Chain A
């Protein structure tokens, strides 16, 4: 049993506490510690991915209590992949925030570390109630981050965000309670066995619990009809925070994959593939609504927020198909949309500070230093998000369309994915031409306000994230081969159950 599995949770927790207690008055020290912790987390995540890639899921028994009685963390390919993604984003956000975007309050970096702890924990845990606890950890940190810097608009939008998520948490508890009442366990591996043996009289309760869980995850993943909180929150949040939030919607998507393949998967008897009929139609509507919003956006942040909604729609279409080919496509698109969404918010942040009072509104204004470089980054992020060749958005959508070839809703999926891609291209093209071409014609008024524009670090951070997209494109072959193995593990829970509960339990699950 490798103790490294707990590091992605413990390291940021200790670092956050240390930042609050010992480094609260020294911003330079805070930045150095926060960034080095982020780099260490990434290194640890990469090493853990190596461990997971050896094939077998690895359990970590907290306090060495035997499963299913204690809480267990499980490292498999899927969770390791999400850890690496979080690690990369954590480093980029820490770098991006460093040049004056973290001074709106004293505890930006401590909150960032707590946020990373919650996200990593949610990806690692193998216990349904523990998932709730880590959701709370990441939400509490996100409330603080979202409100960072204050201001009336942020407070108003923050209130919505907090209330929506508190209602979500309450629903999560109702769901957990129902599932516990009929199965008597909350350990995910144990649940995978127990849901198949539920008494016929209790089957409806179990399905209701599963449905409630889907609702909770849909709120997190911004799936229609629970998408409306996202635009207000993301466009009001500070740029580095909004960039980090690109992984938050993916926590919802991850939870849907985990719970509705492992617990409510093929072996669940009456409740098998519980989520399948709901996700696909809702995801199609999400994609359409996100694209309409994108066309109607009047600020760059709104544009980025709605493109996140649209990309979640695309991602959930692929997840909602619940076939191995579609799942590989979904994972590929998940990595891509995390990078691209974060890059768009970072570009938005650079533009907003660069243009001073005009901010991120989509109107022509005087050019700002290095705006051609920023325009280039925006262009790359935009074509990746819209799904144009040659970047990974194109490959991701291609994989999704290909995997949907034999799906019952195939014509709908193809029409909507292709149609919205065109509309997104129009939306991004309009925004980019106003922001960078029309602005080039506006004469500067000589006043160059703005703190932090002289610093290249935000550009470097943005370029790093976009380089991730480019790398994903170049290495698409090996990447999809890796993701294929991940998908195989997702659709065959035997190894997961064996790792947590031993051979006997694995036999039970394999017999179904």
Chain B
């Protein structure tokens, strides 16, 4: 299971970084999503991988899994979801106003270069 989770985190992150370096906004948005998925699984795994163990006090339980990373992941998911939504709106608005979805600033937008 360790190998599976570790390689999943690795592939998600690598995909994310690759897409992030692309020149158009859509791949960048998708890349950021992959990166946040990667970090979510990573955070989850930081509480160690435990099978069939409850995260809260239970008299019958022999062992526990760490509940804190799960709470952290929840917070991270909420924030990254909101941010992705904002980024999509921003990219769309930028595409409509600038007529291009390229990431770099064009000469016209640099302004003041006259």
> Which of A153, A158, A174 interacts with B90 by CB under 8 Å?
A158
Contact B69 A152 (CB under 8 A): no
Contact A166 B87 (CB under 8 A): yes
Q: How far is the CB of B53 from chain A (nearest CB, A)?
A: 17
What are 6 A-B interface contacts by the 8 Å CB criterion? A153-B105, A156-B98, A159-B25, A159-B103, A173-B39, A181-B48
Contact A177 B39 (CB under 8 A): yes
For residues 21 through 74 of chain B, which have their beta carbon under 8 Å from a beta carbon of chain A?
Answer: 25, 28, 32, 35-36, 39, 42-43, 46-48, 68-69, 72
Contact B72 A129 (CB under 8 A): yes
Contact B32 A167 (CB under 8 A): yes
Interface residues on B, range: 35 or more
Closest to A135 in B: B79
How far is A152 from B102 in the complex, measured between Cα atoms in Å? 13
Q: What 18 new A-B contacts, CB under 8 Å, besides A140-B82, A162-B83, A174-B39? A: A129-B75, A140-B83, A143-B86, A147-B90, A153-B109, A153-B111, A155-B90, A156-B98, A158-B90, A159-B25, A160-B105, A173-B43, A174-B42, A177-B39, A181-B47, A298-B112, A359-B112, A361-B112
How far is A185 from B48 in the complex, measured between Cα atoms in Å? 14
The count of A-to-B residue pairs whose CB atoms sit within 8 angstroms is 103
Q: What residues make up the interface of B, taking CB atoms closer than 8 Å to A?
A: 20, 25, 28, 32, 35-36, 39, 42-43, 46-48, 68-69, 72, 75-76, 79-80, 82-83, 86-87, 90-91, 93-94, 97-98, 103, 105-106, 108-114
Q: What residues make up the interface of A, taking CB atoms closer than 8 Å to B?
A: 129, 133, 136, 140, 143, 147, 150-153, 155-160, 162-163, 166-167, 169-170, 173-174, 176-178, 180-181, 186, 232, 298-299, 302, 359-361
Closest 6 pairs between A and B when the two form their complex, measured CB to CB: A181-B46, A177-B46, A153-B109, A155-B94, A177-B43, A173-B39
Q: Which residues of A contact B35 (CB under 8 A)?
A: 167, 170
Q: Which residues of B contact A186 (CB under 8 A)?
A: 68
Contact B46 A180 (CB under 8 A): yes
Closest to B75 in A: A133
Known A-B contacts A153-B109, A158-B90, A359-B112; A170 and B39 likewise in contact (beta carbons under 8 Å): yes
Contact B43 A163 (CB under 8 A): no
Q: How far is the CB of B26 from chain A (nearest CB, A)?
A: 12
Known A-B contacts A129-B72, A180-B69; A156 and B105 likewise in contact (beta carbons under 8 Å): yes
How far is A143 from B111 in the complex, measured between Cα atoms in Å? 21
How far is A486 from B24 in the complex, measured between Cα atoms in Å? 47
Main secondary structure of the interface of B (DSSP, over half): helix
> Which of B32, B82, B93, B98 interacts with A163 by CB under 8 Å?
B32
Contact A163 B28 (CB under 8 A): yes
How far is A343 from B79 in the complex, measured between Cα atoms in Å? 33
Closest to B83 in A: A166
Closest to A69 in B: B68
How far is A359 from B111 in the complex, measured between Cα atoms in Å? 11
How far is A180 from B35 in the complex, measured between Cα atoms in Å? 20
Q: Which residues of B contact A160 (CB under 8 A)?
A: 103, 105
Contact A170 B36 (CB under 8 A): yes
> Which of B32, B80, B86, B94 interacts with A156 by CB under 8 Å?
B94
Q: Which residues of B contact A136 (CB under 8 A)?
A: 79, 83
How far is A299 from B91 in the complex, measured between Cα atoms in Å? 27
Contact B72 A176 (CB under 8 A): yes
Q: Which residues of A contact B83 (CB under 8 A)?
A: 136, 140, 162, 166, 169
How far is A159 from B105 in the complex, measured between Cα atoms in Å? 10
Closest to A129 in B: B72
Q: Which residues of A contact B110 (CB under 8 A)?
A: 153
Q: Which residues of A contact B47 (CB under 8 A)?
A: 180-181
Contact A162 B90 (CB under 8 A): yes
Q: Which residues of B contact A156 (CB under 8 A)?
A: 94, 98, 105-106, 109
How far is A150 from B72 in the complex, measured between Cα atoms in Å? 34
Q: Which residues of B contact A167 (CB under 8 A)?
A: 20, 32, 35
Q: How far is the CB of A365 from chain B (nearest CB, A)?
A: 13
Closest to B32 in A: A166
How far is A359 from B113 in the complex, measured between Cα atoms in Å? 13
How far is A155 from B90 in the complex, measured between Cα atoms in Å? 7
Contact B39 A180 (CB under 8 A): no
Q: How far is the CB of A469 from chain B (nearest CB, A)?
A: 28
Q: How far is the CB of B91 from chain A (nearest CB, A)?
A: 7
Q: Which residues of A contact B20 (CB under 8 A)?
A: 163, 167
How far is A361 from B35 in the complex, measured between Cα atoms in Å? 39
Closest to A158 in B: B90
Contact A152 B39 (CB under 8 A): no
Q: How far is the CB of B30 from chain A (nearest CB, A)?
A: 12
How far is A163 from B103 in the complex, measured between Cα atoms in Å? 10
Contact B39 A232 (CB under 8 A): no
Q: Which residues of B contact A361 (CB under 8 A)?
A: 112, 114
How far is A140 from B36 in the complex, measured between Cα atoms in Å? 17
B68, B103, B112: most-surrounded residue (chain A CB, <10 A): B112
A158, A170, A302: most-surrounded residue (chain B CB, <10 A): A170
How far is A46 from B20 in the complex, measured between Cα atoms in Å? 44
Known A-B contacts A157-B105, A177-B43, A180-B69; A169 and B98 likewise in contact (beta carbons under 8 Å): no
How far is A359 from B112 in the complex, measured between Cα atoms in Å? 9
Closest to A299 in B: B112
How far is A181 from B113 in the complex, measured between Cα atoms in Å? 50
How far is A66 from B65 in the complex, measured between Cα atoms in Å? 22
Q: How far is the CB of A72 from chain B (nearest CB, A)?
A: 15
Contact A177 B42 (CB under 8 A): yes
Q: How far is the CB of A491 from chain B (nearest CB, A)?
A: 30
How far is A181 from B43 in the complex, measured between Cα atoms in Å? 9
Contact B87 A163 (CB under 8 A): yes
A133, A152, A158, A299: most-surrounded residue (chain B CB, <10 A): A152
Contact B109 A152 (CB under 8 A): yes
